[in-house]
Amino acid sequence: MATPPYRMWDVVERASTGPFCEQQEFLTKILVPKLKEVIEKYGIKYDSHSPIPTQDSLADRVWEAAVELFRDVGIYNQDTHRRITFSDKEILEALSCTAGEYNVGIGKDSKILQHRGVEDRTPPFVIFSPDIIFDEEDFLTACIAYLKEPLLDGFCAPILEESMGMRIQSGTPIELAGSLEHAMSLREAARLVGRPGVFLVAVGTSQSDASQISVSDPEWGVRTTDSRLIGSITELMTNNSMMNKVVHCQQYGCYVANLTGALYGGYAGGAEGTAVLETAYHLNGLMVYQSHYQMNFPYHLKYFSNTTRELLWVVSVYSQAVARHSKLVNVSNGFANAGPGTEMLFFEAAAHSIASTVSGANLWEIAPARNKNKNRATPLEARLAAEVGHAVARSGMTREEANEVVNKLLGKYEDKIADAPLGKEFKECYDARKGIPTEDYVALYESAKEEIAKIGIDFPY
């Protein structure tokens, strides 16, 4: 079965020859009006009582709206002021030719990353990731702690803010140093825990195209069996630096993920528009970014999270739409409000995992403390999300059952979202030298897991 890229150089050419417009015109006169049009045309409505929608027809209408939006709007290149657009026939061709599964990692550590269906009993592929900045001196020990987790199928390391005693700035020599340190330390951590071939998603410290290219090395850096994240710009925009990464990754031969986060409360508007946009980003990933899988983190403009009631609905709806109408590989990234060392974070991780898993997504777990508080992430909340995802799939949980459980979980934390506890830093929750959680944190995790089991999750252990 064919894999990306999809007519890569044709797409690159369209970035310079497509319809011309200025960025503000694209956003306010092309994207927003069309988004409102398809929401009304396809009758898409948010239901606050059902964070996990159960109607196939809703997912079908969201998919149809997303395809029409992507076809008519396209993707805007900020550097060339051109829109990259595709026809219905091209969209269908690309969807037909995608593989739907990939063998990632090496040797004994290799895994199958694949498309999942709605209410699929195949456990999700779980990528563990703190999604947050860590101090340079804690980077290696944090990576070791995460890589020791048995349910980890892939790993994306923390982000470095400093290297060689200097603050990293994109496009400078110190960014190259930080990216090198990140890549080498990540590979070292994987070897130390006995998982040298594990699937790695790297390098988050690298922002520029030059620094991403610099870490492509099978001996000490990013291998062809690993993956890169190439971000889209909110909403439905790209630039030449992103496209440079696309071309390099395809020519180097590694896996590519399109990193996207439709913004609830921004140009997307409410839950309906956010769901349609996040679905449309899958087509952008397939056709413009030439990606093998899609990494999704739709999030709330006010809270910078996606565990609110509205965003769980978005996560569930777009995941069902993609699962029902394509073979695309969807990975759902959790963004929580609370920080480590709090019961609330475990409840948020469980809710996001349930909404994603039962709706057909794989998991990327989890960014605590609204993804912006340094050193505040641990493997334990990711472990709980992974255990929940496996339990949901293996027990054959239905969307109706998932909706009931998630509503109960929301009842435990929803009123605390605005003032979510910041929690503790990694070193306060873990013995960093050994890479194991403290007794107090394990006790809190076990207590939260018991509460989650009581409301409907059948854990195998």
Token pair of 116 as six digits: 């999942």
pLDDT tens for 335-350 read 999 999 999 999 999 9
pLDDT tens for 107-129 read 999 999 999 999 999 999 999 99
CATH topology of domain 103-235+243-266+291-454: TIM Barrel (3.20.20)
pLDDT at 1 over 50: no
- Closest residue by Cα to residue 200 from 110, 311, 69, 72: 110
Token pair of 419 as six digits: 């003032």
pLDDT band at 5 (very low <50, low <70, confident <90, very high): confident
Token pair of 108 as six digits: 């004994």
The full set of domain ranges for the chain reads 103-235+243-266+291-454
What are the distances in angstroms from CA 118 to CA 167, 410, 420? 44, 22, 31
pLDDT tens for 307-327 read 999 999 999 999 999 999 999
- d(CA 201, CA 229) in angstroms, rounded, equals 7
DSSP state of 12: H
pLDDT tens for 156-183 read 999 999 998 999 999 999 999 999 999 9
pLDDT at 195 over 70: yes
CA angle 428, 432, 437 (to 5 degrees): 65
Mean pLDDT over each residue of the chain, to the nearest integer? 97
